[in-house]
A and B are shown apart, each in its own frame.
Chain A
């Protein structure tokens, strides 16, 4: 029995609104309500990044929220997956091109599943989460490990040279 098979059985969800109109957030809450009841798959809306597996993001990233978004993503322990929920989280949607928004969360954090719709339906969200669970199960810790992309600075004479210290990106082998 491998531990990885239990990831699928208890995905804990963290929900973050990066400045959307709240339409998608209400649909996410509708998933938790009696009609769709995603708790029967063991999902809990934790609200705590340190204990959750799935990051559900709604909203185009406003300039205020992008640092928080990245920080929340950083605080989640691996393995984790990110679902971008709704048109505006995926591409910017109705907010695209506005002066206070970036378009889409995938400019800042890696996204695994995109769920479409302006006002996504609860069924779509559940489908997206189920697809994300498949990805979550396949993920390994090595795949998620942060890699250092810089070499040590070079001592040249009396100077510490920090130019050309970018490491070449090695392809990740799974």
Chain B
């Protein structure tokens, strides 16, 4: 009972936790630039304000895709936190991203189309690495279940250090952080796929972004296994690393991004897999 209570609570509170992380991240990012930054609860203020705006939709399917993107992402987070099948998690996540791409293609705005194209490119960039990581976890623990990772006596990090580095390399792509933020690129394509959403429907997309934070940091935490202190350390390290990288780098184009992720991150994960299965 008790070990079910914490994941269920975490799942229910996931958007809230993600919002707090996002608010904190905005402060940290501002402090890195020697600014003061917005208050911690700023994402929630944005949320409440957006609820008040007039509702405008392009067409009903577009709004529906946006909401389903949020729902399926929540499912992915739920399965991940309950210790379910990692392959299922990866594919639920893929589903949520593809719903967003569909939403992007379903309007007639060219910015939305460009954003959808680029989001598809980022999918191509990080999805193989996620699957490779899932396969290496299978080879280490003998099961695709996330809960088997927490049952191991040794943290996953010691067994799969290169896979963790590969995860660190693709996280900026996944969370749309610079230098790999071609999909969102606020100055070029004005937010890409989320461009045509407004008011309460943008809220679904905006909160999905918070859920993404929970998703990514849970993936990072997974590498510490049952070691809670190491897990927290890894999450803090990833947080600082992501923000420092976001603040200090300029955007690369999607070809460079693909070359980097498929060339470096994917091969790192693969080498780790090979080393583990040979020795």
A positions within 8 Å CB-CB of B: 3-4, 6-7, 9-10, 12, 34, 37, 39-42, 46-48, 50-51, 53, 77-79, 141, 144
Contact B45 A42, beta carbon cutoff 8 Å: yes
Q: A40-B35, A77-B198 are in contact. Are A48 and B54 (CB under 8 A)?
A: no
Residues of B within 8 A of A42 (CB): 38-39, 42, 45-46
- Shortest B112–chain A CB gap in Å is 11
Contact with A along B195-219 (1 / 0, CB 8 A): 1111100100000000000000000
- Shortest B58–chain A CB gap in Å is 9
B84 interface contact, C-beta 8 A: no
CA A34 to CA B34, docked complex, whole Å: 6
Q: A42-B39, A47-B187 are in contact. Are A6 and B48 (CB under 8 A)?
A: yes
Interface residues of B in 249-274 (CB under 8 A from A): none
Contact B49 A9, beta carbon cutoff 8 Å: yes
- Shortest A116–chain B CB gap in Å is 27
- Shortest B130–chain A CB gap in Å is 29
Interface SS of B by simple majority: loop
Contact A51 B202, beta carbon cutoff 8 Å: yes
Q: A39-B35, A39-B37, A40-B36 are in contact. Are A10 and B42 (CB under 8 A)?
A: yes
Residues of A within 8 A of B49 (CB): 3, 6-7, 9-10, 53
Q: A34-B35, A37-B30, A37-B36 are in contact. Are A78 and B195 (CB under 8 A)?
A: no
Residues of B within 8 A of A47 (CB): 186-187, 190-191
CA A37 to CA B35, docked complex, whole Å: 6
Closest to A9 in B: B45
Residues of A within 8 A of B35 (CB): 34, 37, 39-40
CA A10 to CA B190, docked complex, whole Å: 19
Residues of B within 8 A of A40 (CB): 30, 35-39
Q: Which of B33, B36, B53, B196 contacts A77 (CB 8 A)?
A: B53
